[in-house]
Amino acid sequence: MTVKARIDRIGQYVDQEVVLEGWLWNKRSSGKIAFLNFRDGSGFIQCVVAKQDVPEELFTLAKGLTQESSIRITGLVRREERSPIGYEITVSDIEVVARTEDYPITPKEHGVDFLLDHRHLWIRSPRQRAILKVRAEVIKGMRAFFDENGFTQVDPPVLTPSSAEGTTNMFETEYVNGESAYLSQSGQLYMEAAAMALGRVYSFGPTFRAEKSKTRKHMNEFWMIEPEMAYVEHQENMQIQEALVKYTIQHVLEHCQYELKALDRNLEPLERIVKEKFPIITYAEAVQILQDKGHDFPYGEDFGAPHETELTNHFDLPVFVEKWPANIKAFYMQPDPDNPDLILGADLLAPEGYGEIVGGSQRIHDYELMKKRFEEEKFDDSYNWYLELRQYGTVPHSGFGIGLERTIAWICGIDHIRETIMIPRTLYRLYP
Amino acid sequence: MTVKARIDRIGQYVDQEVVLEGWLWNKRSSGKIAFLNFRDGSGFIQCVVAKQDVPEELFTLAKGLTQESSIRITGLVRREERSPIGYEITVSDIEVVARTEDYPITPKEHGVDFLLDHRHLWIRSPRQRAILKVRAEVIKGMRAFFDENGFTQVDPPVLTPSSAEGTTNMFETEYVNGESAYLSQSGQLYMEAAAMALGRVYSFGPTFRAEKSKTRKHMNEFWMIEPEMAYVEHQENMQIQEALVKYTIQHVLEHCQYELKALDRNLEPLERIVKEKFPIITYAEAVQILQDKGHDFPYGEDFGAPHETELTNHFDLPVFVEKWPANIKAFYMQPDPDNPDLILGADLLAPEGYGEIVGGSQRIHDYELMKKRFEEEKFDDSYNWYLELRQYGTVPHSGFGIGLERTIAWICGIDHIRETIMIPRTLYRLYP
Ligand SMILES: [Mg+2]
Ligand SMILES: [Mg+2]
């Protein structure tokens, strides 16, 4: 029996006959030869049917194949220098599993609404497939980093009684006991509890924001990775973030050459990032840079997209902006001992216009100070457990959240984060 | 400067002085010696303070330490055969980072409601920590299996327009566009679309069921792994499930010896599973076995917990029960060509009373048959995309869902799945 092979491992079968199971992506043919661009999910490969070498019916069948027909191809694996993957198939047989008529996504241009309506099919296209492969490798790279550095994965709950940052932008549902529950925007507070049990932990799961915003950087459902570390302070927190980002990019550069090429990604800026130290500037320095460049930007406000782009263009590298004014950051951030109006936290801005991908900080660990914050924020009893983390076994600790889709959009060099996930959930889109 | 060490890597520092950062779990002491049971999240280690070898104040400090006080310990790493981890620390200094008074979870017995109210602290206990470590290794093992076998991780959406299996048991929320959205019970239908793009895929994420059930095997929020494979039929689907379960158990046996011991897990049944072939019986054979054993069980009903236990006790191994009556299984399951009243699917039942951990099947790939099912089920337009998967590039395909928490409860040998996750969501519990 001929062996079943996969395109991503086809190099193991040179000069052997194999069977490939998949789909015809497209073809071109003349009177003498048909080139089938065949995909099996693991990759794309050119399969060649030469009229003079095969029975007449096979050549006719090959020439008449339609896009996205399901086929089994039998053929010989050959080295081929001109192939983007280095191999080609000389076809000896084709079995049609199912013939497809009128596949809706043709090689012509389609509008984005049409493509999103057909997202369940659009993901078969080489470009969309490449993005989903990069996504999977970004996840694999990040996990490998955490595994190698003593982190334990912990899964915080999605259904929460409320949020420390208010419930305005949260999806609400009725829990089975009749109470209101909200879909988590962040597992951070729970991850702080986990860090006190397991030392170094990270979460990897979906988060939700019910905002009606409609930008290239927002989705209503997106994935976050949230590490939290006991006995780690602000400086080390940034070092770990830098190491994670470098490790992830290095991993993708090693495992996704084919996909990054399919995306026309310029590799130079990514390769540079792996080698160079990320600059760290204070929020005050960032404001100064913006003002020097002619922006009318007042101290004390959050940056918008043009400001983030200006700052990263200035360095052409990811940049940490640290020591923000406390009043524009979250209640749990540790004050700077040198100036309690500032916090020991940083945002990491990605270059090439991608902006904020990480937000992190040292967390307040002093019980009295956290109690004061609770009074200022008027928290009710539902956060008592979080306060108790400072009452029992409190230690300095830090953590951060990295947005998976923004990181992928940056690494892939694509315009809109909706293409970084199989089924995007945006303002007007709950289908498919 | 003395090097910072972690307990899980302490063997690298034998006869060296190290600093450990963590917490006092408990202690016992006499007039001459204090034994500190110290934890740092990565593990537990005994630290010994001998009165004659340290300054008077240090011995006094050690004797007065309270449970869950945050401390830095400096000391010499020594091999110690009697230690469960093989090492011990001879203490030369202790720094108290924060003293804890009246830690609520004392070594005495607490009721389960009290413990669940203090879940954010309870996870620090050796037994709870061990379960969370096993959870993390189960996840790591499963991912390694998928990585090695050509699967790509894909993340299906949580917010869905509705469910093919009805919305009665689903959490509902208002989407940002005003439509009703539901929290996914399963990503399977989306994963079928992904398999047609990427060949072999798996999801790893939270799923939700708004059932008011209150058993040891149900939570309202739980994690599922849902692989889906193009060009894979029923028999191969079961082979892959068996390989996954064996690989995962082998991984846990290799990486969690310490944790399984902390849980008093009998390893013999787990070791046996790795070696032996899982029996496959038909639903009809299963009914016959139950009737032979004196159960008054009619053909055509689903098994309850006692029936699942009886069946697995009969073999003392995980058992596949295949070829169920179509009318008690989901609409998308492929009919058995030998008897279209049965489906080509199987449940995998775990032994030792744990019952169903996997449900899987070959999926209908014929367009006309799926269209007929759609009419029978009276689906509206929101599932057109799923039907289109049969219209364009349809192929035989199969998949399954494995419940993470049930698998962990079984591997850990614990009674209730609520202990397999950091923050369980059950009928009466939305706090912490
Ligand atoms: Mg920002
Ligand atoms: Mg069942």
**pLDDT confidence of residue B357:** 97
**Closest Cα in chain B to A428:** B177
**Tens-digit pLDDT profile for residues A375-398:** 999 988 889 999 999 999 999 999
Report CB contact under 8 Å: B136, A120. Answer: no
Rounded-to-10 torsion of CA A280, A282, A288, A294: 60
pLDDT of residue B214: 85
Taking a 5 Å cut-off on Cβ, the residues next to ion ligand 2 are B 356
Cis peptide before B432 (omega within 30 of 0): yes
Which pLDDT score, from 0 to 100, does residue B107 have? Answer: 81
The CA-atom distances, in angstroms, between A330 and each of A36, A174, A363, A364, B89 are: 56, 27, 10, 11, 40
> Quick check: A145 and A248 in contact, CB under 8 A?
yes
- By C-alpha distance, the chain A residue nearest B5 is A150
B395 in contact with A at a CB cutoff of 8 Å? yes
**pLDDT given at position B215:** 87
**b/e per residue B204-239 (b: at least 16 CB within 10 A):** bbbbbbbbeeeeebbbbbbbbbbbbbbbbebeebbe
Smallest Cα distance from B24 to chain A, Å: 9
Three-state DSSP at B307 gives: helix
Task: For residue A124, count other CB atoms closer than 10 A to its CB.
Answer: 24
Contact B150 A395 (CB under 8 A): no
Q: How far is the CA of A420 from the centre of ligand 1 (A)?
A: 21
Q: Which residues of chain B have pLDDT under 70?
A: none
Instruction: Give the pLDDT confidence score for residue A67 in this predicted structure.
Output: 97
Which of A120, A153, A162, A185 is the best substitution to test chain B (most B C-beta atoms within 10 A)?
Answer: A120
pLDDT beneath 50: ranges in chain A: none
Using an 8 Å CB-CB cutoff, list chain B residues near A6: 150, 199
pLDDT tens track for A303-346: 999 999 999 999 989 999 999 999 999 999 999 999 999 999 99
What distance in angstroms lies between residue B308's CA and the mean position of ligand 2's atoms?
A: 9
Pull the structure tokens for residue A256: 């996704």
| ipTM at complex level | 0.97
The reported pLDDT for the residue numbered A167 is 84
How far is the C-alpha of A57 from the C-alpha of B406, rounded, in Å?
54
| Cβ atoms of B285 and B112 closer than 8 Å | no
Distance B356 CA to ligand 2 centre (A): 6
The neighbour count for residue B338, using CB atoms within 10 Å, is 8
**B205: nearest Cα among B346, B354, B403:** B403
**Are A221 and B159 an interchain contact pair (Cβ–Cβ within 8 Å)?**
yes
Whether chain A has a CB inside 8 Å of the CB on B177: the answer is yes
> SS3 for A229?
strand
3-state secondary structure of B115: helix
If contacts are CB pairs under 8 Å, which of residues 83-122 in chain A contact chain B?
A: 97-98, 100, 103-104, 118-121
List CB contacts (< 8 A) between B177 and chain A: 427-430
| Nearest ligand by distance to the CA of B308 | 2
- Which parts of B263-413 fold into alpha helices (H)? 268-275, 283-292, 305-315, 367-377, 384-391, 404-412
* Helix residue ranges per DSSP H, B149-229: 188-198
Determine the distance separating the centroid of ligand 1 and the alpha carbon of A198, expressed in angstroms.
29
Residue B230 identity (one-letter amino acid): A
> Cα A354 to the chain's mean position, in Å?
13
Looking at the CA of B311, name the nearest ligand: 2
| Cα–Cα distance, A198 to A153 (Å, whole number) | 10
Residues 56-75 of A with CB under 8 A from B: 68-70
* Cβ neighbours of B430 in A, within 8 Å: 159-161, 175, 177, 179, 181
The pLDDT score that the predictor gives to residue B350 is 97
Q: B residues 246-305 near A, CB within 8 Å?
A: none
Whether the Cβ atoms of residue A247 and residue A227 lie closer than 8 Å to each other: no
Residue window 135-164, chain B: list those with CB within 8 Å of chain A.
135-136, 139-140, 143, 147, 150, 152-161
What DSSP string runs through A116-145?
A: HHTHHHHTTSHHHHHHHHHHHHHHHHHHHH
Q: What is the pTM of this model?
A: 0.97
